[in-house]
Copies of this chain bind each other. A is one copy, B any other.
């Protein structure tokens, strides 16, 4: 039998208990929970076959009462001794995509980000569009290209055209960027024709992941009118392997910044779902930004209410992301296009002036939040490295 020794101040204490899918050499992927520097094999520890599957979907579909029960049971179990074969050092496991993604929606919920992008993409016009403070603007992304942290990112090829060019050229993106976001994972779906009110957020949403929504700005700016981003985003979206349960984020709940005008009734919250989560963006090992999630204008409960108010159904595994998290400070911006002001104001990374991503670059986004125990809980990280483009002959 094994007892897990949780290091003092670990971001993976009993007030966190994030879920993931892991494998060890020669065994199939299955559900685990992270405790300190260990991964607990839940099928072995709890003897429940729902955890023997290669995704969290079946467990998430069991609903919020079950999520709470299992969380209590795990906290109890890991205080005692566990069978040796139920505990693995985190360094010895491979982490997989933790859930099968249904639909992927990306919002645009940071006022600072939307205003920065407005200034950069539409100079001379008001930074926010007229609809922005009335609804959480969002769009569907490509679910099939959501990948787990650690997956290499091949630089995308595509059409790009600067305003002065006579015609578009084809080639590798020259303005490859990141977007530091949080993603919310639907546990219990909702039927077609049944809007999900803000009040049902915690019943529906199982947990939270870190998201890096890689963005090819040159491809995006040429293609996106009038139907929105497409190939500039769809080549890859990375998520962290650990899904932090919403139940672990009670101590992180805060009010959103004041919303003016007052939102329409379907977007009004009776309890706050702003979240005091601090992100960190590291570019080749150097921290270049600390985006604060508490500054987000729209809460994730409002995003979910909006996404379903037209009767759209949701499914277990649907992922909706916040959009880039940017705070008011210049060192709180969640994308390089903002940090370098469209590439015109390079920042120094390891002593060199940098604007967009170069081949070989690595970006790591991590985050922490206040935990129930008075310390901070961790989200782990979402990591990705840029490989050279492999463009088709042209």
Residue positions of A touching B, CB distance < 8 A: 102-103, 105, 108, 121-122, 129, 131, 134-135, 137-145, 147, 154, 156-159, 161, 167-168, 170, 192-193, 195, 197, 216, 219, 222-232, 234-236, 261, 264-266, 306-307, 309-315, 318, 390, 392-394
Contact A158–B309 (Cβ < 8 Å):
yes
What residues on B are CB-neighbors of A310 within 8 Å?
A: 156-158, 216, 219, 231-232, 234-235
What residues on B are CB-neighbors of A265 within 8 Å?
A: 170, 392-394
Contact B226–A224 (Cβ < 8 Å):
yes
Q: How many whole Å from A244's CB to the nearest CB in chain B? A: 24
Q: How many whole Å from A117's CB to the nearest CB in chain B? A: 8
Contact A225–B142 (Cβ < 8 Å):
no
Contact B231–A228 (Cβ < 8 Å):
no
Picked from B154, B195, B224, B264, the residue with its CB within 8 Å of the CB of A159 is B264
- Indicate whether A139 sits within 8 Å of B264 (C-beta atoms), given known contacts A102-B144, A216-B310, A311-B157: no
Picked from B105, B138, B394, the residue with its CB within 8 Å of the CB of A266 is B394
What residues on B are CB-neighbors of A312 within 8 Å?
A: 142, 144-145, 231, 234-235
- Indicate whether A192 sits within 8 Å of B147 (C-beta atoms), given known contacts A235-B311, A264-B168, A310-B234: yes
Contact B228–A170 (Cβ < 8 Å):
no
A-B contact pairs, 6 of them (CB 8 A): A135-B159, A138-B227, A139-B228, A140-B140, A157-B309, A236-B311
What residues on B are CB-neighbors of A197 within 8 Å?
A: 392
- Indicate whether A229 sits within 8 Å of B231 (C-beta atoms), given known contacts A192-B147, A264-B159, A310-B156: no
Considering only CB atoms, which chain B residue lies closest to A231 in the complex? B310
Across the A-B interface, give the 10 residue pairs with the lowest CB-CB distance, nearest first.
A228-B228, A156-B310, A140-B140, A139-B227, A231-B310, A227-B228, A265-B394, A235-B310, A234-B312, A154-B193
Contact B306–A231 (Cβ < 8 Å):
yes
User: How many angstroms from the CA of A315 to the CA of B227 in the assembled complex?
Assistant: 23
Considering only CB atoms, which chain B residue lies closest to A268 in the complex? B394
Contact B157–A103 (Cβ < 8 Å):
no
**Given A159-B264, A232-B310, 15 other A-B residues pairs in contact with their CB atoms under 8 A:** A102-B143, A129-B226, A131-B222, A131-B223, A134-B161, A140-B141, A144-B315, A144-B318, A154-B311, A157-B309, A192-B235, A195-B392, A231-B310, A231-B312, A311-B390
Contact B223–A137 (Cβ < 8 Å):
yes
What residues on B are CB-neighbors of A168 within 8 Å?
A: 131, 134-135, 264
Picked from B121, B223, B235, the residue with its CB within 8 Å of the CB of A135 is B223
Contact A309–B231 (Cβ < 8 Å):
yes
Contact B228–A392 (Cβ < 8 Å):
no
Please indicate which of the listed interface residues A105, A265, A310 has the most CB atoms of chain B within 10 Å of its own CB.
A310
Considering only CB atoms, which chain B residue lies closest to A390 in the complex? B193
What residues on B are CB-neighbors of A227 within 8 Å?
A: 108, 137-139, 224, 228-229
What residues on B are CB-neighbors of A147 within 8 Å?
A: 192
- Indicate whether A159 sits within 8 Å of B143 (C-beta atoms), given known contacts A392-B266, A392-B309, A394-B265: no
Considering only CB atoms, which chain B residue lies closest to A394 in the complex? B265
What residues on B are CB-neighbors of A143 within 8 Å?
A: 102-103, 143
Q: How many whole Å from A334's CB to the nearest CB in chain B? A: 17
Q: How many whole Å from A2's CB to the nearest CB in chain B? A: 38
What residues on B are CB-neighbors of A167 within 8 Å?
A: 134, 261
User: How many angstroms from the CA of A298 to the CA of B26 in the assembled complex?
Assistant: 48
